Amino acid sequence: MHKGCAITVGDLGEFGVIQRISGRLPQGAAVLLGPGDDAAVLRAPDGRVVVSTDLLVEGRHFRRDWSSGYDIGRKAAAQNLADVVAMGADPTALVVGLGLPPDASTEWLDALTDGFREECDLVRASVAGGDIVRSETVVIGVTALGDLGGRAPVTRSGARVGDVVAVAGRLGHAAAGLALLEAGVAATGPLTSLVEAHRRPLPPYACGPEAAGLGATAMLDVSDGLLQDLGHVAGASGAGIVLDPAALPVPEALADAAALLGTDPLEWVLSGGEDHALAATFPHHVRLPPSWTVVGRVVEGEGVQVTGRTRTTGGWDHFRG
């Protein structure tokens, strides 16, 4: 693909609902042709396109009695936009596939749209189109696209022995919020921030391109738990990772929730997913800004170890239950 040329994205098919969504969303500069035809046309100024796709299924990733349509829209957009910035790219557009049951009202759909819009606004991205089908439950498939801006993509396989491991964003908040909901606890005060974290993650979007500019050697977003996701970095890079538990942030709200539920808050930090923080490795000499916290190092060996703890695995596996 030559620099400056446009690409077409998928067969965008039936646009009844997606036109409603896209018509309520600002079209970014990357979208040359939006909803209304068989495909959208996007600008690709870098000559390369970063693409990621993800799926949310009602009852598996969200519950409509726990989360509003607005919350679900924010969450669906966020988890895909986070994948793009984790490659060091700037998000440009989303393509959305929706499976909707008959009881999904126009008001609920408008709230979903508002969630998509406000999350996309954070990174100046757009919904370029999508498709709609009737289903028994709400199913949301999102494909996110991004632009590298001339930078090399940051993959999982570049970590080298001697690098530091650093994180940006929240860890364990979404897992704690889910635990509170499952326990039927009426969250008040600081605990409400944890429940909101489950409903609407807050990925540190600016930190992805920032890390690429700082020379990050490997990076990913923490969707399935810090231990499990860093295990992917260790495996792809052919190295080991050692984490310092004393360096991992455990804010007061997490500690309070853990005391209430009788658990260890560090377990949420290490194994909780869906916060979509960023974890990256950097050469040890790189001076990191305050947005990044050094939590470990890359060493000879394999897998992920936590100093002073015997547990070396943890996190969410969709097929392990």
Distance of alpha carbon 154 from alpha carbon 209, whole angstroms:
9
**Residue matched to tokens 């949310």:** 56
Q: How far apart are CA 271 and CA 175, in angstroms?
A: 8
- Strands across the sheet containing 293-299: 218-222, 277-282, 164-168, 293-299, 240-243, 303-306
Q: Is 110 annotated as a binding residue?
A: no
Is 157 known as a binding-site position? no
22: helix, coil or strand? helix
Q: Is 103 annotated as a binding residue?
A: no
**Distances 190 to 30, 65, 304 between C-alpha atoms, Å:** 39, 22, 31
Q: Please calculate the CA angle 173-174-175 and round it to the nearest 5 degrees.
A: 90
CA distance 172 to 232: 19
52: annotated binding-site residue?
yes
Residue 121 in marked binding region: no
Residue 309 assigned as binding residue: no
Say whether 54 counts as a known binding-site residue: yes
How is the beta sheet containing 31-33 ordered, strand by strand? 6-9, 40-43, 31-33
Q: Is 106 annotated as a binding residue?
A: no
Query: Is 38 annotated as contributing to ligand binding?
Result: yes
Q: In Å, how far are 1, 82, 96, 122 from 93, measured between CA atoms? A: 18, 13, 10, 12
217 is in an annotated binding site: no
H or E element at residue 109: helix 106-121
53 annotated among ligand-binding-site residues: yes
Query: How many residues can be counted in the chain?
Result: 321
66 annotated to bind ligand: no
Give the residue ranges of the annotated binding site for substrate: 61, 274, 316
Which residues are documented as binding site for Mg(2+)?
A: 38, 52-54, 83, 131, 221, 224
Binding residues: 38, 52-54, 61, 83, 130-131, 156, 221, 223-224, 274, 316
Q: Residues comprising the binding site for ATP?
A: 130-131, 156, 223
